[in-house]
């Protein structure tokens, strides 16, 4: 690490800030002034010059993306030492503290964070019997009062205070905290436990805070407590970019910080290296009359000189959309500006809806950060709900939301009606509705499948890794569309090549050979994804470098004799799979797919009964088989005297008469030996949740006073997930798998055949998962299959079409690199591949932004794979709730569609700002006096000006602002801010 090199890269003001003594420093840094570079340099300087260990450095910011960028920059300078620097958001930092000291603040070890929707639902539920009208409005008002109480210590009205007590009690009961409690509890912990506060103050000898203008009162007090003793605190702020007062941010913290830490003059970074002088001047004209930190600040332009800013007016939205699209294409085709250097900004998400549709139709790549979190994705919301209910099955609010989300409004309403009529819990009402004969058979089946799937997940959670649990949730989602590969892959032929365990466990080299360089280029990339850092290209001239312990993958014949272990994949092709690259994918899948070991040991049981009602019927026969390592090792079977008459219809089914069981032992007599037989094993039954498990639980309560503790699993639910369009009775499944059911409806024969059915379904599930695994490799194979011209066989076509969407997307990991390496023109190869894809699959969408959804979920889940499941769920849910909208933006060649808030911290060469009409910019709500935002109108209008300032200063070279006469079906007038900018530009 060369500190002089770091310092020499800074301008005079930046260096002045970096080389300050270990005293409180306030650096006011406008947009484009290099604040991140300076902040990173200050951290490096503290480590190098003041010899502060990296693990004693704390750097806080306000988004995961900003924290990640800071860490990456530190990594470029400090290398591995950067991992020791504590970087993160203030909320995540406080969560870490609360996790460690959860007992001191009265939290469960596995607490997690609830989102806004949950808070609103809870408040509406708490006031349901106290407020008759406008409950949602009253709940919002209460929520605002609570926020003001927690963040600003503003007293609550008596009614709100009463509801707040109930609110806190509910969160405590269900191991939850809200966003504000993360901060409030951390503050209370540090105040009430001076030793803990001193410990963190001692641990972090140097504190750095970015985006300080966005801190609220509680956040500032936490930071102040940690820094007061050593006073080595470096704060970066820009009062002109304070745009979050509506959610509690207090830009006055800048002045308070200066007073508390005796700072007379801040360091001001005055050179904007991003934007040109016209853009800077226009932006300054917007905020010059707002309340700003003294002294007056003026930014100077750095490198950009030929910038432009102009306005465009339209009669209607269609004209505006056409103009925007044409301008984007003009910049791309004539100016050679990458899409990634273009952005369209707007006040609210709804402004982008029609534009996004147009860009999809025109196949213009784009990405959105709309101000919504990843958690707001409809499918992600369901996954979160499942995790929350699995984590806490007794939380009725979550169950209600999950039922409405998965099954729809009508079933949810029917359950609520039963709940009111019977005065029971929502859960009992759900079970009640599922067993009613007056509802349709389809609804009964849907409800039973939902209940069974949820019960299976809750029961098996202790056996799952976190990744397995997420996968099971996704499999069970009612409306999760299957990807193309998930639809087609089950028809792939089985691939027999065995997994080589030594290949998986060793670190020896893997050599890849193909006689054509263009193909070995792709093959190397594929194998390196699976075995990173181990892959080498085999050539004639380096043949002698192969060690006997190495491995060789041959995609075409090799003339020399190989002494190392080798795989002749070119011989594994078939009529359904002619491309050696399809074979390579199947070989990789074999090494990727892991077999679940959950169901190696279990007990299958079955009951024959006196009738069909599980709440009343007696048991006439009980049988079970014990399974070890997937094989039956022991049987159990006995007739049982039910001490009641057998229904004639039931007797016809199982052929057991009253006389047959007259001298048999009663359930009380056989109960102990049955419990001894099942031990602690997983219990499996077919239609168990609707029948067998309910009966067993009834007798367990009667005899022992409590349910049995065994984890249970319903194989019928599993079969329905695997074969949703088929009949899934034991008879139907026996026929499907060509199994002999024996003497059907006698318990022992039933459990034996059910065991074999269960194993068959497990095997098919494993094979299907194996065939769709490694979807991130398909784009590589698609390119190779196209170049081979092997697009006739079924598997080759499927793998090509499954991979071509990613291959031709802005996010491809191979396309551009291949073109550059092999002297292909991007546009020419793109057109050829796209044409072939359209021939094979007319109307194929060449890139769907939802395609990577599952991959992103699994990528995030992988971070928690090694944690105990309860902790993994808590950490995952907390992380997802704290993900910022811009965290999902990728480094791809795609136009960015952004709200002003989401655009903060980003930069682009070309920017179009939509929605420059009054009541949009500034917002209609800025003109209103209301209880939800009790700031004066002039304060709210100032914040709207700062919001526009943020938008304007995203641009490097060119800004176009648009306004329409009619938007959303209403006549509009132009924004007063826009009129002021136009007037200012004319005066210049």
Phi-psi region at 754: left, alpha or beta (left = phi > 0; alpha = psi -120 to 50): alpha
Write phi, then psi, for 291 (nearest 5 degrees). -70, 120
Are the beta carbons of 239 and 213 closer than 8 angstroms? yes
Angle at 86 between CA 81 and CA 88, to 5 degrees: 130
Whole-angstrom Cα distance, residue 915 to residue 820? 40
In angstroms, what CA-CA distances link 552 with 248, 620, 664?
61, 62, 66
Whole-angstrom Cα distance, residue 444 to residue 222? 53
Nearest-CA neighbor of 923 among 981, 977, 979, 982? 977
Nearest-CA neighbor of 718 among 951, 424, 455? 455
User: Most distant CA pair in the chain: distance in Å?
Assistant: 107
Residue 207's DSSP bridge partners are 58, 233
Whole-angstrom Cα distance, residue 869 to residue 867? 6
The alpha helices in 561-607, defined as continuous H runs, are 580-592
Burial class (CB in 10 A: 0-12, 13-18, 19+), 275: buried
What DSSP state is assigned to residue 482? P
Query: Which residues of 148-232 form beta strands (DSSP E)?
Result: 176-177, 206-209
Identify whether 382 is preceded by a cis peptide bond (ω within 30 of 0). Answer: no
Write phi, then psi, for 15 (nearest 5 degrees). -65, -35
* β-strands 955-967, 510-513 pairing: unpaired
Whole-angstrom Cα distance, residue 713 to residue 453? 9
Catalytic residues: 745
What does the radius of gyration of the chain's CA atoms come to, in whole angstroms?
33
Query: Which residues of 129-204 form beta strands (DSSP E)?
Result: 176-177
Residue 89's DSSP bridge partners are 61
Cβ-based neighbours of 605, under 8 Å, separated by 6 or more: 622, 623, 624, 678, 683, 684, 685, 692, 747, 751
Are the beta carbons of 448 and 694 closer than 8 angstroms? no
Are the beta carbons of 33 and 241 closer than 8 angstroms? no
Phi-psi region at 742: left, alpha or beta (left = phi > 0; alpha = psi -120 to 50): left
Write phi, then psi, for 237 (nearest 5 degrees). -150, 160
Cα torsion 909, 914, 917, 922: sign: negative
Chain-centre distance for alpha carbon 572: 38
* β-strands 619-628, 602-609 pairing: antiparallel
Cα torsion 77, 81, 85, 89: sign: positive
Whole-angstrom Cα distance, residue 985 to residue 982? 5
């Amino acid at each position: 690490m060369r500190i002089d090199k770091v310092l020499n890269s800074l301008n005079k003001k930046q260096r002045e800030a970096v080389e300050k003594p270990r005293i409180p420093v306030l650096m006011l840094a406008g947009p484009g002034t290099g604040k991140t570079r300076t902040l990173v340099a200050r951290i490096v300087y503290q480590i190098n010059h003041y010899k502060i260990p990296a693990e004693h450095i704390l750097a806080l910011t306000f988004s995961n993306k900003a924290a990640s960028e800071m860490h990456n920059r530190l990594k470029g300078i400090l290398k591995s030492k950067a991992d020791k620097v504590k970087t993160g958001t203030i909320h995540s930092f406080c969560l870490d503290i609360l996790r460690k000291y959860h007992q001191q603040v009265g939290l469960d070890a596995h607490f997690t964070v609830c989102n806004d929707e949950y808070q609103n639902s809870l408040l509406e539920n708490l006031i349901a019997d106290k407020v008759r009208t406008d409950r949602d409005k009253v709940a919002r008002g209460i929520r605002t009062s609570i926020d003001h109480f927690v963040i600003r210590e503003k007293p609550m009205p008596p009614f709100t205070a009463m509801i707040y007590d109930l609110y806190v009690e509910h969160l405590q009961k269900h191991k939850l905290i809200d966003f504000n409690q993360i901060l409030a509890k951390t503050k209370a912990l540090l105040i009430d436990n001076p030793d803990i506060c001193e410990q963190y103050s001692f641990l972090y000898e140097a504190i750095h805070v970015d985006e300080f203008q966005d801190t609220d009162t509680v956040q500032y007090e936490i930071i102040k407590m940690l820094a007061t003793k050593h006073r080595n605190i470096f704060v970066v702020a820009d009062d002109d970019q304070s745009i979050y007062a509506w959610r509690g941010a207090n830009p006055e913290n800048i002045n308070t910080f200066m007073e508390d830490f005796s700072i007379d003059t801040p360091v001001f970074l005055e050179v904007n290296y991003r934007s040109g002088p016209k853009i800077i001047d226009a932006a300054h004209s917007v905020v010059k009359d707002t309340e700003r930190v003294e002294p007056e600040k003026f930014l100077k332009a750095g490198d950009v000189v030929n910038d432009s800013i102009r306005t465009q007016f339209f009669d209607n939205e269609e004209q505006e959309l056409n103009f925007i699209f044409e301008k984007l294409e003009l910049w791309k085709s004539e100016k050679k500006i990458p899409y990634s250097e273009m952005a369209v900004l707007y006040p609210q998400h709804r402004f982008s809806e029609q534009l996004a549709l147009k860009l999809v139709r025109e196949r213009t790549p784009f990405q959105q950060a709309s101000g919504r979190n990843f958690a707001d994705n409809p499918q992600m919301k369901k996954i979160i709900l499942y995790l929350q209910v699995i984590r806490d099955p007794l939380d009725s609010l979550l169950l209600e939301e999950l039922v409405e989300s998965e099954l729809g409004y009508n079933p949810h309403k029917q359950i609520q009606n039963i709940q009111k009529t019977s005065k029971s819990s929502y859960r009992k009402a759900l079970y009640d509705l599922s067993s009613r004969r007056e509802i349709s058979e389809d609804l009964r089946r849907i409800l039973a499948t939902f209940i069974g799937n949820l019960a299976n997940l809750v029961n098996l959670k202790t056996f799952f890794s976190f990744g397995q649990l997420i996968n099971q949730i996704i499999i069970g989602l009612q409306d999760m569309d299957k990807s193309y590969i998930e639809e087609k892959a089950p028809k792939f032929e089985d691939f027999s090549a065995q997994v080589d365990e030594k290949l998986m466990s060793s670190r020896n080299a893997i050599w890849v050979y193909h006689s054509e360089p263009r193909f070995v280029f792709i093959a190397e990339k594929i194998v390196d994804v699976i075995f990173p850092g181990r892959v080498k290209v085999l050539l004639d001239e380096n043949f002698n470098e192969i060690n006997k312990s190495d491995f060789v993958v041959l995609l075409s014949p090799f003339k020399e004799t190989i002494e190392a272990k080798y795989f002749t994949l070119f011989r594994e092709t078939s009529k359904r799979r002619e491309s050696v690259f399809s074979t390579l994918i199947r070989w990789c899948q074999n090494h990727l797919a892991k077999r679940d070991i959950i169901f190696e040991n279990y007990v299958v049981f079955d009951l024959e009964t006196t009738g069909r009602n599980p709440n009343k019927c007696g048991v006439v026969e009980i049988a079970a088989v014990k399974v070890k390592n997937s094989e039956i090792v022991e049987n159990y079977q006995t007739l049982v005297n039910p001490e009641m008459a057998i229904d004639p219809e039931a007797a016809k089914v199982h052929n057991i008469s009253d006389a047959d069981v007259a001298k048999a032992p009663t359930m009380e007599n056989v109960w102990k030996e049955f419990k001894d037989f099942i031990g602690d094993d997983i219990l499996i039954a077919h239609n168990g949740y609707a029948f067998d498990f309910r009966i067993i639980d009834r007798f367990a309560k009667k005899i022992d006073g409590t349910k049995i503790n065994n984890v249970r699993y319903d194989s019928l639910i599993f079969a329905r997930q695997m074969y949703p369009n088929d009949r899934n009775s034991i008879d139907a499944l026996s026929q499907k798998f060509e199994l002999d059911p024996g003497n059907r409806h006698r318990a022992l024969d039933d459990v034996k055949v059910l065991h074999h059915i269960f194993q068959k379904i497990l095997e098919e599930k494993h094979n299907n998962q194996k065939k769709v695994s490694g979807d991130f490799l398909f784009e590589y194979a698609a390119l190779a299959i196209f170049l081979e011209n092997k697009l006739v066989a079924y598997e080759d076509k499927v793998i090509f079409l499954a991979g071509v969407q990613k291959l031709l997307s802005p996010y491809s990991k191979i396309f551009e690199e291949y073109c550059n390496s092999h002297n292909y023109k991007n546009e020419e190869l793109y057109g050829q591949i796209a044409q072939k894809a359209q021939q094979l699959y007319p109307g194929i969408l060449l890139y769907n932004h939802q395609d990577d959804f599952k991959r992103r979920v699994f990528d995030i889940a992988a971070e928690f794979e090694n944690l105990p499941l309860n902790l993994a769920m808590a950490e995952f849910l907390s992380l997802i709730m704290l993900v910022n909208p811009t965290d999902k933006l990728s480094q791809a060649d795609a136009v960015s569609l952004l709200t002003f808030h989401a655009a903060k911290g980003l930069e682009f060469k070309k920017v179009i700002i939509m929605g420059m009409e009054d009541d949009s910019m500034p917002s209609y709500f800025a003109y209103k006096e209301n209880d939800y935002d009790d700031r004066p109108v002039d304060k709210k209008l100032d914040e709207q000006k700062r919001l526009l300032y943020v938008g304007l200063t995203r641009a490097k070279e060119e800004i176009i602002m648009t306004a329409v006469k009619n938007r959303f079906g209403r006549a509009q007038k132009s924004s007063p801010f826009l009129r002021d900018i136009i007037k200012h530009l004319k005066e210049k």
